[in-house]
Structure 1
Amino acid sequence: MKINHYAIVLTLGMAVYACSPKVAGDNNKQEKANAAATIPVDSNVIIKKLPNGLTYYIRKNVEPKNRAELYLVNKVGSILENDDQLGLAHFTEHMAFNGTRDFPKNDLISYLQKAGVRFGADLNAYTGFNQTVYQLPLPTDSTEVFKKGFDILANWAGHVTFEDKEIDQERGVIIEEDRQRGKNAQERMSKQLLPVLLANSKYAERLPIGKVDVLQSFKYETIKAFYKDWYRPNLQAIIAVGDFDVAEVEKLIIENFSDLKNPEKERTREEFTIPGNKEPLVKIITDPEFPYNVAAITVKHQEVVERTENELITRIKTSMINSMLGNRLTEIVQKGNAPFIFAQSNYSAFQGGLVNLDAFNTVAVSKDAAGLKAAVQAVVAENVRMKKFGFTQTELDRVKTNIMTGVEKQFKEKDKTKSTNFVQLYVQNFLKGQAIPSVDYTYNFYKKNLDKISLEDVNKLAATFFTEENLIAILQAPEKEKANLPTEADYISWIKTAGADVQPYVDQVVNKPLMAKKPNAGTITAENKIAELNVTALTLSNGVKVILKPTDFKNDQIIFAATSKGGTSLASDDIFRSAEMADQLVNSSGIAEFDESQLGKLLTGKVVGVSPSISNYREGLSGSSSPKDFETALQLTHLYFTAPRKDEKVLKTQLEEMKAVLANRESQPTAVYQDTLTAVMNAYKKRAQSIKINELDQITADKALNFYKERFANAGDFTFTFVGNFKVDEIKPLLAQYLGSLPANNNKENFKDLGLEPLKGDITKKVYKGLEDKATVALIYHGDYNYSDEENLQLDALKAILDIKITERLREKESGVYSPRVGISYNDEPKEKYTISINFSCATANVDKLIAAAIDEVNKLKQNGATAEDIQKFNAEERRQLEIQLRDNGFWLGYLQNAYASGEDPKKVLTYLDTLKQVSINSTKASAAKYFNQSNFVRMILLPEKK
């Protein structure tokens, strides 16, 4: 169990992006020099404007093949709302899917689903303070569908109908979106934090979700006025990137968008910012459901949008600083006895880039409130150390090497770059004017300029990051810690006095080979080929099985995995909790004689990573590398089998982190609910339940490492799968040397059935936890299963079709939920079992009604089967997804690994599309009757605490 560090960062609104700071001392002369060295625009993208002001970007790109990404980008967001329109920028985005001139009501979604476009996963949109973006991925091998895509974008851009009934229907959906994403500690604390983070600015009054009272009561004309004012061509861009004819796409854009008109009396599109502050802004808040003790310190900086080469150099230096400072903080944890359980300092976009500012952000998480001072002062001391003394030459040399390695990888993959990557660049170019250079330009620029960046230049920039002006200091803690928190004055004093006696950082350089002596090679004893799949299966002299599929999907990628039966199921009860920690301990302890920090330094400049894992019923590892670093990946693999490390300091830190999480777990509604659900779905077996604080004392490094060694002692029981850019004959010697030399015996282990299966019967379990009017519901059907390709297909179809029906019923008809989900699971290990789940959140008053509606949809499937239209949608989605998957290394790795692990014929993928005809109205009716069996049915409901 680990802290969700990313969730903590998001709680504070600090997503990490690579942005550039404002360099102190800029002057007019420098600005003129910058302007003279503008970054050139990639010549592969066409950028033009229509006479009405609409901007368009077109680029041909063949990855993925026969696909295109179409986007409508609007310089329109919640910041432009009037006081009576709070939330209507976001509401407008929703209404675009609920009826336009050419697509009444939900016809648009249905039309696209028939073309294999998934609502939510593919077709989607988002609204921020300053932008609203619609995304529409489409196949290009269907001329009709592809052309229709531009009609759809034009309908969104200027022809949303806003029917009264549809507006009223959508009010409930958006209120439920607010409920699903909020009504928790994070939202309650955000309401107190945002006036401080966004102080004295319009942003504080214009959160995209808006206000519930406005959403419930606004007049129809009010939202129509917003659309008329702001959805206009001179604030819009069309982005088209994909496998198509550029001239034809330009023609389609001109045909579909030239008739759009700007209002006769245009409202001025103002730009807004957040003012600076001389004195610190401070906020200390608590909440009974907040689980952590978190300190956050933000220093606001002026945003710099990269348009010039000097600004690009600054961004590179910023990236270097972030990396080196992050490594120092990681090293503190690695050495043990760190005063924080998590810490982070970096220069990034303020509020995740939603606001036009940059910021230097520092976060520290302590074990408890009593440890906050030490945690804050320790991480701030590193900021001060950076400010006073900068970095060392050896640190800079390593980070330069890593950066250049990343740029070279991007350059090698330039013809395999996904269209979505280009789209995101063009979105930022339109919204902010961000430069869009070619990959060739970027590669040559880094090659020419990276070595010219001096340590003095980097340290000079680093010294400007952490300042006393524009500082915001926040503390968040559980309510029970309130008495132990500092005053605002004390908190600021901690920050100002931290690092007073810091000394320069001393870099411990590593100068040893990863593997001093190569192992004696084994031999290849058997080889079989599957020509239809271009797959080769090898058996090595120690019994290791190796599956190889060379591909050309990526130029600089090899990915691999290994698996064997056993897992923690083979751990005795007295060492089980240690066994659960085994892979986590080894992953964080380094390898052989190198701890994690040393290993990172040792692998400088290499594109490689290997990670062991142990689950309930299997152990294995996964990894990736460039072709150039493939031997290093195999060396790491060999060492994870033969020379795992235990680091007592690492375990101590991990246990402290777990203790901090567990100390407040009972205060979190979602955690209590999930723990209860897990218990019910595993018949309350102890092995499946979350660890308790008093069990942490049972965990020792020796027990964990010994169990790990047991699981990896016999490599002959493992099957390795490799997919990527390699030649089979060229890598055979490496496989024989590093995998063929692994210790092995003839034993073939199996897992132990732990009896982790759901309670039988018709069960309703209610959990009362939480302060807000919010319910979470899970409806779960489960039972024994006949695992086979035929049954799996029918369950997949049921899942996809029920997903459509539940969304149509609970969201569109009932207006009672935002994003219901249907999940499915079928397994043949340790037993053949299946589960189908329906999950949603809603108002507490609507729980019974929505459960009844969901069950009603299930019963309709049981009585009538799926409609022909829904089967068509399922088939289209499966066909389109398979087309993409067959050109994806990750798909092949998972597919081949599973096929060989279960003894199935891997060639079945070639005939999968033919099997879709097995899905019919009658088959779905029969499957629904079989699998939606209410005799094994669980209703799990989370409700607020009774008052």
Structure 2
Amino acid sequence: MRSAVLSALLLATTLAAQAGIQLDQTIPVGPQVKVGKLDNGLTYYIQKNGKPEKKLELRLVVRAGSILEDDDQLGLAHFVEHMAFNGSTHFKKHELVSYLQSIGVQFGADLNAYTSFDETVYILPIPTERRENIEKGFTVLHDWAQGVSFNAEDIDNERGIVLEEARLGKGASDRMNKVLLPKIFNGSRYAERLPIGKEEALKTFSHDALRRFYRDWYRPDLMAVVAVGDIDPAEAERLIRTHFGKLKNPANPRPRVSATIAPLQKSEGLVITDKEANTNSVYIRYPVQEDREDGTFREFRKGMVETLFSIMLNARLQELAQQPEPPFVGGGSAMSGLVRGYKSFSSAAVLGRGGVLPAIDTLVQENERARKLGFSEAELDRAKKNVMRNLEREFAEREKTDSHRYAAEYIRNFLDREPIPGIVNEHAYVRELMPTITLDEMNRYARETIPDHAQKLVVFMGSDKQDVPIPAPDALLAAAIKAEDLEVTVRKEQAVAASIMDKLPKAGRIVAETSDAKLGITTLTLSNGVKVMLKPTDFRNDQVLMAAARYGGRSLVDDADIHNARYANAIAATMGVNGHSPVELNKILAGKAAGANLALTNFTDSVTASAGSTDIETMLQLVHLKFTSVRRDEDLYKSFIGKQRELARNEISRPESVFRDELYTTLFNGHPRVSLTPRPADFDKVSLDRSLDLFKSRFGSAKGLTFVFVGSFDPDAIKPLLATYLASLPVTDIPVKYRDLKVRPVTGVVKKDVYAGKEQKSIISLNFTGTTRYSELEQMRFSAMLEVMNLRINEVLREKLGLIYGGGVSGSIDNVPYPNYLIGATLPTGPQNVDKVIAATMDEIRLLKEKGPDPADLNKVKQAWLINHTKSVRENGYWLARIQNALLKGTDLHSVLKYEEMVKSLTPAQVQAAAKRYFNTGNYVQVVLYPEKAVANAAPVSAPAAASTAD
């Protein structure tokens, strides 16, 4: 074995040297970023970047997380993160969030932070139109670094919020992970230092313990500042030196010691069950290895090999999942990271009807097949093509990549030593090194990476309410050991076609063309009556998006066929096209960036597709074939239905699913067309032929469709392709209107309590419905009303009362199938706080109706919208959605040019009027989830009640 490894390294070194790269050299930092270090040890990264415009992404990275907590500090690394938003040297409590909102930074969506085992990262995007915003942005980072106040009253107030956050994570997964993680981490410190902490510790920790964590670990030698975006690098460096140069390290700093994971001492089987588990799965984890990035070209090249290996091995497993009786719903194997500094080879699968044994056999045997017999040249060629195409797209977009992506790279460099040569250099390195990676080397890597009869942990996780027998721990382990010794044979590589189309369709013509200079849109009429709208942009260099929609959809299907209609899209997608299965299509399309999807929705037939700029023809071929030649494959159908039944079997066990079903059943009075959580019996009502017939009845014709293209394309170059692939689509006569099925919400005040789940968790859902008149201006007033309500919910229910961690209101106005609106408030909380949360929410609704919004709150909403709009109008997806929405709703697309004017014209009086109109407290549905044990209580927290209506 040692000789083989040495030979492989020598060969790799020789090949790389021929390519001009010395593998043992450290990869240099690219010229796109300035990396420096202050005298106190703080590292900084600075890059000027123009996308999005007028925005600066700031990050404070602290190499300290929950793994460093003392025994009296469980959960306090994360708690410190919370306190950073609760008062500091330059910002009193609530001032920071309020100030940032006033300049258009949204709390949660933009302003955020996270705590992990080994790090804490603060995220701060700053609009740069005003210089003082930038200065204050660095002041905020400075305060987070060493200026948090830790006021005693604020600490105690924050306990409730953090406990509510911890409550949100409770459930089947959390309960099972508490059994799994000590085994996964081999009894190491990681299993005892989950970032959320422990409930009792969060309730009782001392203020000094919290402050001690901050003093010990928030220090410049463990910090990095990242600044990427609209800023002069010299100015950024000056601001960093000014704000962070005087930060002090402790006189006697505590050693920052990494936690270790001991080797697995023996193989073991483990069974973990929970009646609320929504999937059954198997997981095989092999010995943990140290994973230390050294920043060399050798490590970089090894990463390329690892990527190719993972692609090839998992392509095989995905193919096996499409058998008529698949061994699992889905599965995969890979060498992957466990926690910082450690990785392991592992295999996992979501189980199907056959249970755990077929899944273990297949996972292990496919691993063994790759280890013993290797891969084929065709597999390696496809994997290389896919890697290179993705790299080419990144290279093409190098000047149009969002700043937050660069910021994430620099965070990984600081924490993991991931090289940052820049995409220009990385592109050159990969182009030189990829040809040096041979099949022999890949097969050696497989032999050395896939464990050979190694110690292992074999885990079954799933529901204990199944008709499939639950395996014993010893049986799990025995199955994995037995599978290692089963004979494997060479996997036969089936020949595939050179292209997805045998011959081109007979082309049509472009018969008319008009232009809209203001919007930069050209509209074409094709000879078959289909229309095309073209909006070429320079927002991206290698992205083309396409969509089309018309009315119809599942609304035209009778009740007896609704199950066939609901699964028609997925079944058709499972079949493939033009005689090619999905597996074959993936092989044919290796190295292409193109995809397409056709779908029946409730009221529309929709087409979506995307491509790289050089793959537009492939995208159009896929679209044409999905209209004209969907395959029929009984085996793939059986595989699909079997997997769906198995997924449905457990999903209904989740308390959230029970709650959702009761909510929609109550809200729409049990109407049969309202979609609920699938049951296994639903799939007895699905027919392959009927589902395909329904799909083809709509997509066998392109009548009434307008295809919208947005992105990096040349209109003159694309026109012949449109004539060939879209003008040739059939346009047989079909209805292109939706049918109103008279699905209407109940009226009056209806309340219902639902009991499900073990945990002390509640969810409150308040739903306001009614009729309205749709317009873009009314939609804007409606949305502003909701945004203001969310500001109030966060300020009062979270920050002031500590009753919730997250939650809020959302809603929509629509004119299909009738002019209507729906507002839904979702508020997770503890069962003991349900009545308080409802009362506080209703009080905020009352105040908004009586007094209107605080003008400062409305200005926060408007400022955030204007900043987001500046970014959105430079995105292809935004324009595609706007054009599609205008086509379907019949609105004036030119209103997009007046967006800023419309936003600025919004007044508090208009928002108040909207609140009076839409928050009708005489007409709403209230559904509350309580834990199931409340049913047995003599005096539940809130008395259970059947659904009731009050006029």
> What's the CA shift for 1:522?
1.7
Partner SS state of residue 80, structure 2: helix
1:47-67 superposed Cα distances (whole Å, 9 cap, x missing partner): 111111111100111111111
Q: Which residue of 1 aligns with 2:558?
A: 572
> What's the CA shift for 1:31?
13
Q: Does 1:201 align with 2:201?
A: no
- Give me the whole-angstrom Cα distance separating, in 2, the residues matched to 1:523 and 1:62: 41
Among residues 487, 502, 517, which one is paired with 1:531 in the alignment?
A: 517
> What's the CA shift for 1:646?
2.5
Contact 1:302 1:358 in 2 (8 A): yes
Q: Which residue of 2 aligns with 1:5?
A: none
Q: Which residue of 1 aligns with 2:457?
A: 472
The within-5 A match list for 1:76-475 is 76-182=64-170, 184-299=171-286, 300-305=288-293, 307-350=295-338, 354-368=339-353, 371-467=355-451, 468-469=453-454, 471-475=456-460
Aligned length: 920
Q: Which residue of 2 aligns with 1:788?
A: 775
Among residues 829, 834, 837, which one is paired with 1:842 in the alignment?
A: 829
Contact 2:114 2:122 in 1 (8 A): yes
- Give me the whole-angstrom Cα distance separating, in 2, the residues matched to 1:559 and 1:666: 36
1:218-272 superposed Cα distances (whole Å, 9 cap, x missing partner): 1111111110111011110000010211111111111111111111111111112
Partner SS state of residue 687, structure 1: coil
Contact 1:47 1:55 in 2 (8 A): yes
Contact 2:61 2:121 in 1 (8 A): yes
Q: Does 1:815 align with 2:802?
A: yes
- Give me the whole-angstrom Cα distance separating, in 2, the residues matched to 1:38 and 1:637: 46
> What's the CA shift for 1:367?
2.9
> What's the CA shift for 1:802?
0.4
1:539 alignment partner AA:
T
1:339 alignment partner AA:
P
- Give me the whole-angstrom Cα distance separating, in 2, the residues matched to 1:762 and 1:78: 46
- Give me the whole-angstrom Cα distance separating, in 2, the residues matched to 1:332 and 1:279: 31
Partner SS state of residue 816, structure 2: coil
Q: Which residue of 2 aligns with 1:18?
A: none
Q: Which residue of 2 aligns with 1:549?
A: 535
1:149 alignment partner AA:
G
- Give me the whole-angstrom Cα distance separating, in 1, the residues matched to 2:671 and 2:256: 60
> What's the CA shift for 1:911?
0.6
Among residues 565, 570, 580, which one is paired with 1:584 in the alignment?
A: 570
1:177 and 1:323, CA in 2 relative to 1: closer, same or farther beyond 3 A?
A: same
- Give me the whole-angstrom Cα distance separating, in 1, the residues matched to 2:748 and 2:319: 52
- Give me the whole-angstrom Cα distance separating, in 2, the residues matched to 1:748 and 1:483: 46
1:35 and 1:666, CA in 2 relative to 1: closer, same or farther beyond 3 A?
A: closer
Partner SS state of residue 484, structure 1: coil
Q: Which residue of 2 aligns with 1:744?
A: 731
1:778-825 superposed Cα distances (whole Å, 9 cap, x missing partner): 111111111011211110101110010011111101111111121111
Partner SS state of residue 458, structure 2: strand
1:306 and 1:508, CA in 2 relative to 1: closer, same or farther beyond 3 A?
A: farther
> What's the CA shift for 1:528?
2.1
Partner SS state of residue 449, structure 2: coil
> What's the CA shift for 1:341?
1.7
Q: Which residue of 1 aligns with 2:24?
A: 36
Contact 1:286 1:482 in 2 (8 A): no
1:396 and 1:483, CA in 2 relative to 1: closer, same or farther beyond 3 A?
A: closer
Q: Does 1:688 align with 2:674?
A: yes
- Give me the whole-angstrom Cα distance separating, in 2, the residues matched to 1:281 and 1:170: 42
> What's the CA shift for 1:215?
0.9
Contact 1:717 1:748 in 2 (8 A): no
1:917 and 1:365, CA in 2 relative to 1: closer, same or farther beyond 3 A?
A: closer
Q: Which residue of 2 aligns with 1:593?
A: 579
> What's the CA shift for 1:902?
1.9
* Most deviating of 69-78 and 410-419: 410-419
The within-5 A match list for 1:547-696 is 547-690=533-676, 691-696=678-683
- Give me the whole-angstrom Cα distance separating, in 2, the residues matched to 1:740 and 1:178: 56
- Give me the whole-angstrom Cα distance separating, in 2, the residues matched to 1:678 and 1:43: 55
> What's the CA shift for 1:472?
2.1
- Give me the whole-angstrom Cα distance separating, in 2, the residues matched to 1:390 and 1:246: 49
Q: Which residue of 2 aligns with 1:516?
A: 502
Among residues 879, 885, 892, which one is paired with 1:905 in the alignment?
A: 892
TM-score, normalised with respect to structure 2? 0.94
Q: Which residue of 1 aligns with 2:684?
A: 697
- Give me the whole-angstrom Cα distance separating, in 1, the residues matched to 2:97 and 2:309: 46
Contact 1:777 1:841 in 2 (8 A): yes
Contact 1:560 1:623 in 2 (8 A): yes
1:483 and 1:321, CA in 2 relative to 1: closer, same or farther beyond 3 A?
A: closer
- Give me the whole-angstrom Cα distance separating, in 2, the residues matched to 1:622 and 1:583: 13
- Give me the whole-angstrom Cα distance separating, in 2, the residues matched to 1:220 and 1:28: 54
Q: Which residue of 1 aligns with 2:945?
A: none
User: Unaligned regions of 5+ residues in structure 1, if any?
Assistant: 1-22
- Give me the whole-angstrom Cα distance separating, in 1, the residues matched to 2:274 and 2:124: 40
- Give me the whole-angstrom Cα distance separating, in 2, the residues matched to 1:248 and 1:139: 16
Contact 1:196 1:282 in 2 (8 A): no
Contact 1:298 1:362 in 2 (8 A): yes
Partner SS state of residue 451, structure 1: helix
Give identity over the alignment, percent: 38
Among residues 47, 52, 64, which one is paired with 1:59 in the alignment?
A: 47
> What's the CA shift for 1:336?
2.1
Partner SS state of residue 243, structure 2: helix
Partner SS state of residue 328, structure 2: coil
- Give me the whole-angstrom Cα distance separating, in 2, the residues matched to 1:376 and 1:220: 49
1:333 alignment partner AA:
A
Q: Which residue of 2 aligns with 1:493?
A: 478
> What's the CA shift for 1:302?
2.2
Q: Which residue of 2 aligns with 1:887?
A: 874
- Give me the whole-angstrom Cα distance separating, in 2, the residues matched to 1:823 and 1:263: 47
Contact 1:306 1:312 in 2 (8 A): no
Contact 2:464 2:470 in 1 (8 A): no
Contact 1:520 1:741 in 2 (8 A): yes
- Give me the whole-angstrom Cα distance separating, in 2, the residues matched to 1:663 and 1:747: 37
2:840 alignment partner AA:
A
1:669 alignment partner AA:
P
1:716 and 1:456, CA in 2 relative to 1: closer, same or farther beyond 3 A?
A: same
- Give me the whole-angstrom Cα distance separating, in 1, the residues matched to 2:696 and 2:11: 60
- Give me the whole-angstrom Cα distance separating, in 2, the residues matched to 1:228 and 1:631: 60
> What's the CA shift for 1:128?
0.5
1:556-591 superposed Cα distances (whole Å, 9 cap, x missing partner): 110111111111111122322112111101112111
Contact 1:69 1:138 in 2 (8 A): yes
- Give me the whole-angstrom Cα distance separating, in 2, the residues matched to 1:469 and 1:263: 45
Contact 2:24 2:298 in 1 (8 A): no
User: Unaligned regions of 5+ residues in structure 2, if any?
Assistant: 937-951
1:183-232 superposed Cα distances (whole Å, 9 cap, x missing partner): x1111111111111112311111111111111111111111111011101
> What's the CA shift for 1:320?
0.8
